[in-house]
Amino acid sequence: MASSIVLFGPPGAGKGTQAGNIVAITGKPQISTGDMLRAALAAGTTLGMEAKGYMEAGQLVPDDVIIGLIEERLTQSDANEGVLFDGFPRTIAQAEALSHIAELSVVIAIEVPDSRIVERICGRYTCGGCGAVYHDTFNPTASPGECDDCGHTEMKRRADDNEDTVLTRLSAYHSQTAPLADWYKERNLFVAINGDQDIEKVGAAISSVL
Ligand code: AP5
Ligand code: MG
> CB of 155 within 8 A of CB of 41?
no
Closest CA to 118 of 168, 68, 179, 166: 166
Q: What is the 3-state secondary structure (H, E, C) of 163-205?
A: HHHHHHHHHHHHHHHCCHHHHHHHCCCEEEEECCCCHHHHHHH
Closest CA to 122 of 147, 158, 168, 172: 158
Residue 80, C-beta contacts closer than 8 angstroms, at least 6 positions apart? 1, 2
Q: Could you give the CA distance from residue 42 to residue 161 in angstroms, rounded to a whole number?
A: 16
CATH architecture under which domain 3-112+171-209 falls: 3-Layer(aba) Sandwich (3.40)
pLDDT of residue 2: 80
Kindly write down the DSSP assignment for every residue of 96-143, as one continuous string: HHHHHH--EEEEEEEE--HHHHHHHHHTEEEETTT--EEETTTB--SB
Distance 133 CA to ligand 2 centre (A): 9
| pLDDT digit string (tens) for the chain, length 210 residues | 589 999 999 999 999 999 999 999 999 999 999 999 999 999 999 999 999 999 999 999 999 999 999 999 999 999 999 999 999 999 999 999 999 999 999 999 999 999 999 999 999 999 999 999 999 999 999 999 999 999 999 999 999 999 999 999 999 999 999 999 999 999 999 999 999 999 999 999 999 999
Distance 35 CA to ligand 1 centre (A): 10
DSSP 79: G
> CB of 165 within 8 A of CB of 171?
no
Distance 75 CA to ligand 2 centre (A): 23
Q: Could you give the CA distance from residue 95 to residue 99 in angstroms, rounded to a whole number?
A: 6
Q: Where are the domains of the chain?
A: 3-112+171-209
Residues having CB closer than 6 A to ligand 1 are 9, 11-17, 33-34, 37, 54-55, 58-61, 66, 87-88, 90, 94, 120-121, 123-124, 133-135, 138-139, 169, 195, 198-199, 202
DSSP-assigned beta bridge partners for residue 56: none
DSSP-assigned beta bridge partners for residue 193: 110
Q: Ligand 1 atom 27: the closest Cα is on which residue?
A: 55
Q: Ligand 1 atom 19: the closest Cα is on which residue?
A: 16
> CB of 141 within 8 A of CB of 148?
yes
Q: Could you give the CA distance from residue 96 to residue 27 in angstroms, rounded to a whole number?
A: 25
